[in-house]
Amino acid sequence: MDVLDILRRQAGRFQCPKCGQSLAECQLEMVTHHDDQSLVKVTCAHCQDTRLIAVAFAAETETEAPAIDVRDEPAEDLGVAISADDVLDARLALAGHAGDLESLLR
Q: Report how far residue 40's alpha carbon sits from residue 43's, in angstroms, rounded to the nearest whole number.
A: 10
- CA 85 to CA 51: how far, in whole Å? 10
- Between 3 and 26, name the residue whose CB sits nearer to Zn ion: 26
CB of 48 to Zn ion, least distance (A): 7
Task: Measure CA 101 to chain center.
Answer: 12
* 19 near Zn ion, rule: CB under 5 A: yes
Among 3, 7, 16, 70, binds Zn ion (CB under 5 A): 16
The dihedrals phi and psi of 39, each to the nearest 5 degrees, come to -110, 125
Is there binding between residue 46 and Zn ion (CB under 5 A)? yes
Positions that interact with Zn ion (CB under 5 A): 16, 18-19, 44, 46-47, 49
